[in-house]
Amino acid sequence: MSVDGWNTLLVLGGIRSGKSEFAESVVADAPTVRYVATAPAGDPEDTEWATRLAAHRARRPGSWTTEETAADPGRLAAVIAAAGPNETLLVDDLGGWVTVLLDPAHQPADDTATIAELAAAVRASAARLVLVSPEVGLSLVPTTPLGRAFTDALGATNRAVAEACDAVALVVAGQTAWLKPAAAPATVPAHAVPAHAVPAQGGPAQAGAPELTAASARPVTDVPDEALPEVLTPTVAPTPAPAPAAAAGPADWAAPTMALPMVATGLVIQPGMELPMPDDYTGPQAVDRLATLDIPGAGLGVLERVVGFAAATQGTATPTPWGAVRVLLLHGDHEGGASAGAVPGESARRARQARAGKGPLARLAAENGASLQVVETPTSAPIEEGPALTGEEVEAALRYGWRLAEQAADAGVQLLVLAACGAGTETAAAAVLAATAGAEPPAVLGRVVTEHGEFDDAAWMVRCAAVRDALHRTRRSAREAKDVLAELGGGDVAVATGVLLGATARRVPVLLDGPVGVAAGMVSRDLAGQARHWCLLPDHGGRPGVRLAADVLGLTPLLDLRLDLGEGATALAALPLLRSALSLAAGLPVHPALGGGDDEDFTEPEPAGPGPASTEPEPDFTEPGPAGPGPASTEPELDVTEPVPGGPGPASAEPEPDFTEPEPAGPGPASTEPEPDFSEPEPAGPGPTTIGPDEPVAPGRRAD
């Protein structure tokens, strides 16, 4: 029996009751599932049966494998008996198996003995086993001999298998009732529980039923939540720091393996795990979509890779900026030559500083609205003298990291940032790179910088010698992932590897930033090759080891800031830029030339239509034309000709100047206004020659 209460489960239900969906939800959190299909192919002309089979296949994740047993009814017991303790089997269903068992092609046969063999295999199964079977005992007795034989055989099978299983559930109309409670509570992860499997809020719980909860995706275990580190929320202007939280002590690492989620599902972390992959299509679609947006210039440049990464990990061509972000600060020292040149107690001070909301990492986390979790990892022994960790410590560290990722996913975290502050971490990472990528230690080990900002080349040589001696000591040892962690990597690299695997299983992307993160990425390749596709490296930080690991993992750094503020700080410094790129990609419209619309109307205003006339006269700048014949104006024009002696004429009150050439007047009524005379004046007759203010005005002149 597995640690969470049951190892084998029989799910009964009628036709279209939801039994298969419930069974699939129970094993949905397992990294790998072998689906054992028992139903025969059926009549090729039966399209309805083919549709049912296609619907079953469509629900299975791509990481599942399928095994057919319809050709031989005795093979099902053999498959179950041969399954190992690290496997998960889903048999769907026993009704199809009984159909094959009663097929005339397999008769005569001892059906009772075959059913007994199946029950014995279920009882002795070491694998995690879920069987689905139709419950036919509630219907009428069939009227045909073949129908009665089928119901009798299936009823006998259900009774025998139910007796052999640890737990039995009955699904009726989408509701689950537990008929055979397990010895301990069992939990179905929230992301795998269908709506019909979770009791309504406030409804009565099934008496004696294994616990089903949608509040947590971690199995219910014997270790309280306090075993995980406290999650902190730094603020930009922190209040006086409280007393530092107690570091995780040896008791955390002595916790039984039953507290860890992988074992709770009947599995262990092992090489070759099949974990989810990012979406292969939405990433390229998102990058292609950028070419259609209303962006001036050449676009986002290298940040297009951020958009493609976010689209693939979010499963949408229009990814949104990461909201909830959590920083995991791993604190664990490496003893011996690996930490040569490090100030004693400095890493512990940095960890306390981060808990208090101070220091570069905590302040950058506050600026980004990210939560911070300081994780204490086991201290690693000197690698030049012996293994850094024992095998048991490696297993515990991997599962501990997995639990940290699960806890973050349950809290709604959308992005994880891996950080580290232990002494000697870069040396351990260099040893891992040398073992997994064949690198030379001096080429991947960065220079040692003292607390005064000076290079300590003597300490660097001691670290190189420690890696050299460790590689020589392990030259005949296996290079499997767990062996590398035990011999060279140490506690922080092992926990970081577990975080990457757990985040991959829960589809949470991770920002790597420094030697511990990339070393964990190198080790995780051998455990689950999918993990590296969920990682993004914003900057290599000028570290040679990070550059090499990024090249091996296929991670191209986006920036070259050359910040050296501690592992994790550069990723947080670059995070606002990454979020800005995603905001633009999600919020900008399509360019109008490609069918998009304008947010604003930039067209020129049209002239105003006709309206009431203005009371103010408009100026007239046209040249006046010659006056034609017509009625006399009431306002006489100014006569600028020289006075002609003779006839007096009426003086104008306010004449208007006229500078146009007169045209000869045609026949018509005579004008009352005298025409200008441009002829030479004749000598003036007697009269005044000057005009003064009090002097008389000569005939034909105006008094100004």
- Positions marked catalytic: 567
Where would I find the H helices in 368-446? 391-410, 425-437, 441-444
Axis-axis angle for helices 346-355, 359-367 (nearest 10): 30
Matching residue, tokens 């970081």? 496
Number of alpha helices (DSSP H) and beta strands (DSSP E) in the chain: 21, 15
Cβ-contact 404, 500 below 8 angstroms: no
The phi, psi pair for 325, rounded to 5°, reads: -125, 140
The Cα 391–Cα 579 span in angstroms is: 40
Residue 299: left if φ>0, alpha if ψ -120 to 50, beta else—which one?
left
> Do the bridges between strand 65-68 and strand 510-511 make them parallel or antiparallel, or are there none, so unpaired?
unpaired
User: Which element (helix H / strand E) includes 232?
Assistant: strand 231-232
Q: Where are the extended beta strands (E) located within 25-146?
A: 34-37, 65-68, 88-92, 128-134
CB atoms within 10 A of CB 29: 26
401 contacts: CB under 8 Å, gap ≥ 6? 494, 495, 496, 497, 498, 499, 500, 501, 502
Report which residue type is found at 87. Answer: E
The Cα 552–Cα 535 span in angstroms is: 13
The order of strands in the sheet holding 510-511 is: 231-232, 371-376, 325-331, 415-420, 510-511, 535-536
The Cα 213–Cα 196 span in angstroms is: 12
Report which residue type is found at 183. Answer: A
Burial of 42 (0-12, 13-18, 19+ CB in 10 A): middle
Report which residue type is found at 186. Answer: A
> Do the bridges between strand 175-180 and strand 128-134 make them parallel or antiparallel, or are there none, so unpaired?
unpaired
- DSSP structural state of residue 488: I
User: Which element (helix H / strand E) includes 457?
Assistant: helix 457-473
Per DSSP, the three-state class of 611 is coil
- Write out the two tokens for 391: 């095998």
Matching residue, tokens 């972390």? 269
The phi, psi pair for 554, rounded to 5°, reads: 75, 25
Cβ-contact 676, 640 below 8 angstroms: yes
- DSSP structural state of residue 62: T
Matching residue, tokens 């609205």? 369
Cis peptide before 108, with omega less than 30 degrees from 0? yes
Long-range contacts of 171-175 (CB under 8 A, 24+ apart): 171/11, 171/12, 171/13, 171/17, 171/18, 171/19, 171/22, 171/196, 172/13, 172/14, 172/17, 173/17, 173/18, 174/17, 174/18
- DSSP structural state of residue 271: T
Cβ-contact 494, 394 below 8 angstroms: yes
- Write out the two tokens for 399: 């599962």
Cβ-contact 398, 494 below 8 angstroms: yes
